Structure 1
Amino acid sequence: MAGAASQAKGGGGERADMTAWLAVAAGTLGALMATLDISIVNSSLPTIQGEIGASGTEGTWISTGYLVAEIIMIPLSGWLERVFGLRTFLLAVAALFTAFSVLCGLSTTLAIMIVGRLGQGITGGALIPTAQTIIATRLPRSQQPIGTAMFGATAILGPVIGPLIGGWLTEHLSWHYAFFINVPICAGLITLILIGLKHEESHIDQLAEADWFGIVGLAAFLGGLTVVLEEGQRDQWFASPMITTLSVVSLIGFFLMMTGQLTAKRPVIRLRLLIDRQFGSVVVMGMVVGMVIYGTSYTIPQYLVAIDDYNALQSGIIVSLSGIPALMIMALVPILIRVVDIRLAVGFGLAMLAVSAWMESSMSSQSSGGDFVVSQLMRGVGTVFAMIFLNQAAIQSVGPDHASDAAGLFNAARNLGGSLALAAISVVQDQRLWFHSRRLEETLHANSEGVQAYLGGQAQALGGMAQALRALSGTLQKEALTMTYNDLFWLLAVSIGCALPLVLFLRPLDTNTKPAAGG
C-alpha cells in the first residue's frame, strides 16, 4: 500500500519503464473514477430524487451509502491484494464497479439505486489504496514524487469535479449517463491493468488466517453507526425499534473489532497506531478535511438549487472552482514537501478551509453562485496544503512495517469524515429548518398593519388571498432554508478551528526521504 514506498524497487538513479508507468496510469485512473463517483450525483441529486421517488432526506443515502461501503473496503484492500494477487483483484473490482454503475444508471427506485451505490462503494474503495500500492512498488524512489502528485490530484479533484461532470451530463443528456460514463472508463482501466501488471500467484490459504472478528466488526460498527446518524432524527432516535437495534449492532461491531485487535496476528485495521500522538492527530485532521471536501461538495449544490434555482450544471461549475488551485499547485507538491515545514503548511491549509467556510456562513436569500467564488478558490488552496502534507505525515509517523496500515487508516478516516458530514447535514438541516421556520413565523402577527398591508398588496398582484398566503409561506421557507445553510457552514468552520491546534503535535518531515506514494 501507500506506505510501502520503502520497499519500492530501485534507487535514486533508476528509471521506470513504460510498463510501470502504464500500471501507475491504471491505478490513477481507477482512483480517479472511484473518487469521482463519490460526488458525481451531488449536483443532479434533486433530479434523481424526483425520478426515483425519494425525499430530500432519503436522497442523502445515494451519497452516504457509497461512502460507507468505501470506508469499510479501504482497510480490507491490502489483505485482499495479498490473497488474490494485485492484477486479479483489480480486474475483478473494475468489472464489478462497471456492473454496479450500470445498475445505478438503470435504477427506477430508491432501493435499487442504494444497492448499486453500495456496490460501487465496495469496489471503488478497493481502487483507491491499490493505486497507492502500484506507485510504491512499481516506481523507483526517485520518481515516486511524480506518482504522489498524480494520485494527490485524483484524491482532491475527483470529489470536486464530480458535480460539474454530473451536472453537464444531467443537463445535456440525462442523469443516467453520470453512471453509464463509467463503462468506457472501466474498459480503458481494464486494458491498462492487463498491459501494465503481471499476473501474481494467489494465496487463498490466507483466508483462514484473516481477522474475521475485525472484518465483521468493522462492517457492523461503521454501517450501523452511519444509519443511526442518518435516520435517527427522522425516526425520533431511540423511540424507533430500528434505531435501537442498529445501535446495538454498532456496539457489538465495535467490541468485535476490538476483539480482533487483541487476538488476530495481523488485525484488519491496526488501531494501536492511533495511540501515537502525531499519527492520532493526523487522522483527526484528515477526518476534518474529509468533512470539508465531501460536505461542501454536497451542501453547495443543494443550496444553489434550492435558493437560486440553479440547474445541475451551474451548481457543478461553482463546486469545481476549488479544483483550479489544486491543478495549479499540484505540480509543485514534490518540491513543497521538501522545503515547507509541515506545521506551517497544514496550519495554513486548515486556516484557509476554516475561513472559506466562515465566509459562507453569512449568505442571504439573494446570494448567488458568484458569492461562492472566492471561498471556493480559498478552499482549493487549503485542501492541497492540508491533505498532501497530512498524508506524508501519516506515512512517516509509523515504522516501515506499519506504513500500509497507516495509509489505510488515513484514507478510511478521510472518507469517514465525509460520511459523518453527510449524516450530520441531514440531522442539522431537519432541526434547524424547523427552528428557523418557527422563529420567523413568530415575528409575523396576523393583526399587524404591516402584515395586512403586505398580504393585501400581494393578493392584488397575484389574484387572491390564497395565492398571497402561499407566496408568503414560500418566502418564509426560503429565508429559513438560507439560515439553515448558514448554520451548516458555521458549524463546519468551528469544527476546522477546533482541529487547528493539533498541528502543534506534528513533527517535521524527513527531508532526506522521498515522499511516500500516498494521497
Structure 2
Amino acid sequence: MSRIGNSSDLPRQGFVAVGVVLASILTAFDVRTANIGLADLRGAFGLSFDEGAWLSTFATAPQILLAPSVGWLIAVFGVRRVMTVPVALYSTVSILIPFQHSFETLAVLHALRAVVLGMFVGATLMIAFKNLDRRYWIFALAFYVLRIPFAQNLGLYTAGSYSQTIGWQWLYWQGALIAPMVGILFWCGAKTVVTDRELLSRADWGGMALFGVALTTLYFALDQGNRLDWFRSGIIVSLMIAASFLVLIFLWHEARVVHPWAHISVLFSRNVALGFAAIACFMTTSLGSSLLEPNFLVSVTRLRPEQVGDFSAPLAIALLLIATGTAVVLVRTIKQRATLILGFSCFLMSAWLGTELTNLWSLPEFRLVVVLQTFGEELVFLAAVATLFSNVNPARAVSLTAYVQVMRLICSETVATTMTTWIRQREQLHSNLIGLHVTGTTPGWSSMLASLGSGPSSSSASADALKRGLGVLASTVQREANVLAYIDGFWVTFAAAVAGLVIVSLMAPSPAHPLTTR
C-alpha cells in the first residue's frame, strides 16, 4: 500500500478515522444494549420467554453471515459501493422495528439488521488500512479495540436508562441516527476506486457462502445451547451437525478451488496461530467485567442495569482514553510481546481480586477490577491483532480479516455461553452441597426458622413464621451458592490469564510493520 503523505488528504483521512470509530462503537454498543434491555423488549413486544430468547439470537447470529467476506467485497468494489445500501437499510429497519408486533416479522427484521450490523465492524479494518496513512493505522486499530470496554461500561447504563427515561424504542433508534453519519463519513473520506476486475474474476463465491452459512448455523447453536441444555436438545444437536458438515465442505472446497478466498493455511504461521490463541484467552478472561461482574450485581445485589453501569459511567471515557493511549504507546515502544504480558498480568490481578468475592460486594468493591480489566482489554487485544497483521503476508490480509471476524463473533459467543453454563451448573452444585448441611436434623432447626420468619424481636414459632423462615433460608442458600459459583467463574478467568501468559512466552519476535513502527 502506498504511503499517503499529501496534506490535502488529511480532511479525507479524518472523515475515515471518525467513521471507523463510530462504526466500531455502534456495533458493539448496539449488541450490548439490546442484550441488556431484552427483558424490557419482551414486555414491550408482548413476547414469551422463549420468543424473547429466539429474538435475541436472530438479532445477533446473522452478524457472522457476511462479516468475514466484507473485507474482500471492499477490496473489489470499494467502500462507497459496498456500504451505502447497508447503511440505509440498517437505519430504515431500526426505525420500523418498534412499530411491529408479530414475532415472525420481528425475527426477520432483526435478522436483516444483524446482517448489516456485522458488515460495519467487518469493514472497519479494511477501510482504515486502505484509506489512512500507515502511521495512523495503529490509532484506527486502537479505536476498533476501544469499542469492547466502551460498550461493556456505558452500554449497561444506557440500556437501563432508556426504559426509565426516553423510552425503550431508543434501543433501536440510537443506531438509526448514527448509521447515516457513518455512511456520510465513509462516502466523503473513502477514495474513489475502480472495480478490481481481476480479483472479481477469481471470486470464490462458494467459499464465502459456505463459510458464512456454517458460522451462522453454529452461532444459532451456541446462543441457544445453554437455554436448551446443549446436547440434550434435538435442535442443538441438529444445528451442530449441520454446522460441522458445512465447515468440512468449506475446507474441502478451499483446498480444491484455484483461488481460495480464505484458505486455512493463513493460520499456519507460528505467531498467527499463537496470536489467535491469545485472543481466545483474552475473550475468556475479559468475561470478568463483561459477564461475571454485571450478572453478579443483578442476580445477587439486585441492581438494575443502569445502576450497574452508573458507577463507571462518569469516569469511563477518561479511563478508556488513558487505557487506549497507553496501549498505543506500549505497542510502539516495547512491542507486542511485552505489551501482551502486561495486559494478561492486569487480567490476572483482576481475576484474583474477583476470587475474594462475598455477598457484601457491591459497586465500590468492583472498581479496581473494572480498571484492571479495562487496561487488560486494551493492551491485550491491540497487541494481539497487531501481532496477527505483522506476521501475515499483506497479500493474504483479506483472508486474515475473515478469521479475525470469526474470533470476534464465534469465539466470543463460545466462551460466553460456556461460562454461563458453568455458572449455572456450579450454582446448582453449591446449592446442593450447602443444602446437605441445612436439614431438619440440624440442631435448633425449628427455632432458627422461627427466628428467620418472625424477626429478632419475636419468639413466635407459629406455622406461618416457620414457613416464612424456610423461604428466607432458601433465599440465603441460593444467594451463597450464587456467590460461590461466581467465584468459580473468576477462577476460570484466572486460568485463562495464566494460559495467555504461557502462549505469549511461546511467541517469536514479530517483524517490523506499520502498526508497530513510528
Q: Is residue 137–residue 515 contact of structure 2 (8 Å, CA) maintained in 1?
A: yes
Shift of 1:123: 1.4
Query: Taking structure 1 as reference, are residues 219 and 241 closer, same or farther at Cα in structure 2, changes over 3 Å only?
Result: same
1:314 corresponds in structure 2 to 307
2:474 corresponds in structure 1 to 473
Shift of 1:371: 1.5
Q: Is residue 431–residue 477 contact of structure 2 (8 Å, CA) maintained in 1?
A: yes
1:366 corresponds in structure 2 to 360
Q: Letter of the aligned partner of 2:351 in structure 1? A: A
2:461 corresponds in structure 1 to none
Partners of 1:249 and 1:475 lie apart in 2 by 43
1:247 corresponds in structure 2 to 240
Q: Letter of the aligned partner of 1:175 in structure 2? A: W
User: What aligned pairs does 1:154-233 form with structure 2 within 5 A after superposition?
Assistant: 154=147, 156-197=149-190, 200=193, 210-232=203-225
Deviation string 1:159-180 (CA, Å, 9 cap, x unpaired) is 4432232233233233331221
2:384 corresponds in structure 1 to 390
Q: Letter of the aligned partner of 1:514 in structure 2? A: P
**Aligned pair count?**
509
Partners of 1:361 and 1:188 lie apart in 2 by 43
2:298 corresponds in structure 1 to 305
SS of alignment partner, residue 23 of structure 1: helix
Structure 2, unpaired ranges of 5+: 459-463
Farther-moved stretch of structure 1 (151-160 vs 370-379): 151-160
Farther-moved stretch of structure 1 (404-413 vs 196-205): 196-205
1:426 corresponds in structure 2 to 420
Counterpart of 1:122 (choices 115, 120, 123) is 115
2:514 corresponds in structure 1 to 514
Farther-moved stretch of structure 1 (228-237 vs 281-290): 228-237
1:288 corresponds in structure 2 to 281
Q: Is residue 340–residue 384 contact of structure 2 (8 Å, CA) maintained in 1?
A: yes
* TM-score, normalised by the number of residues in structure 1: 0.87
Query: Taking structure 1 as reference, are residues 269 and 110 closer, same or farther at Cα in structure 2, changes over 3 Å only?
Result: farther
Q: Is residue 170–residue 313 contact of structure 1 (8 Å, CA) maintained in 2?
A: no
Q: Letter of the aligned partner of 1:383 in structure 2? A: E
Query: Taking structure 1 as reference, are residues 131 and 242 closer, same or farther at Cα in structure 2, changes over 3 Å only?
Result: closer
Deviation string 1:34-72 (CA, Å, 9 cap, x unpaired) is 122131234434444555567889866666655543334
Counterpart of 1:454 (choices 431, 448, 464) is 448
Partners of 1:89 and 1:33 lie apart in 2 by 18
Residue 496 in 1 paired to residue 505 in 2? Answer: no
Query: Taking structure 1 as reference, are residues 295 and 361 closer, same or farther at Cα in structure 2, changes over 3 Å only?
Result: closer
Shift of 1:232: 4.2
Query: Taking structure 1 as reference, are residues 210 and 105 closer, same or farther at Cα in structure 2, changes over 3 Å only?
Result: farther
Partners of 1:505 and 1:65 lie apart in 2 by 39
2:91 corresponds in structure 1 to 98
1:444 corresponds in structure 2 to 438
Partners of 1:207 and 1:240 lie apart in 2 by 42
Deviation string 1:255-289 (CA, Å, 9 cap, x unpaired) is 11212321234434332121111100101111232
Partners of 1:54 and 1:299 lie apart in 2 by 27
Partners of 1:8 and 1:63 lie apart in 2 by 43
Residue 80 in 1 paired to residue 81 in 2? Answer: no
Q: Letter of the aligned partner of 1:342 in structure 2? A: Q
Partners of 2:59 and 2:416 lie apart in 1 by 11
Task: Give the fraction of aligned pairs with identical amino acids, expressed as a percent.
Answer: 19
SS of alignment partner, residue 97 of structure 1: helix
Shift of 1:100: 3.8
Partners of 1:8 and 1:125 lie apart in 2 by 28
Q: Letter of the aligned partner of 2:37 in structure 1? A: S
SS of alignment partner, residue 321 of structure 2: helix
Shift of 1:422: 2.3
1:331 corresponds in structure 2 to 325
Query: Taking structure 1 as reference, are residues 131 and 113 closer, same or farther at Cα in structure 2, changes over 3 Å only?
Result: same
Residue 344 in 1 paired to residue 338 in 2? Answer: yes
Q: Letter of the aligned partner of 1:444 in structure 2? A: V
Q: Is residue 19–residue 196 contact of structure 1 (8 Å, CA) maintained in 2?
A: yes
Shift of 1:380: 0.9
Q: Letter of the aligned partner of 2:347 in structure 1? A: L
Q: Letter of the aligned partner of 1:397 in structure 2? A: N
Residue 435 in 1 paired to residue 429 in 2? Answer: yes
Residue 354 in 1 paired to residue 348 in 2? Answer: yes
Q: Is residue 230–residue 424 contact of structure 1 (8 Å, CA) maintained in 2?
A: no
Counterpart of 2:409 (choices 407, 411, 415) is 415
Partners of 2:153 and 2:308 lie apart in 1 by 12
Q: Letter of the aligned partner of 1:505 in structure 2? A: L
Query: Taking structure 1 as reference, are residues 327 and 300 closer, same or farther at Cα in structure 2, changes over 3 Å only?
Result: same
Shift of 1:119: 3.2
1:4 corresponds in structure 2 to none
SS of alignment partner, residue 285 of structure 1: helix
Partners of 2:96 and 2:476 lie apart in 1 by 39
1:261 corresponds in structure 2 to 254
Q: Is residue 60–residue 422 contact of structure 1 (8 Å, CA) maintained in 2?
A: no
Partners of 1:8 and 1:154 lie apart in 2 by 28
Farther-moved stretch of structure 1 (133-142 vs 102-111): 102-111
Farther-moved stretch of structure 1 (406-415 vs 384-393): 406-415
Q: Which has the higher contact order (CA 8 A, sep 6+)?
A: 1
Structure 1, unpaired ranges of 5+: 1-6
SS of alignment partner, residue 365 of structure 1: coil
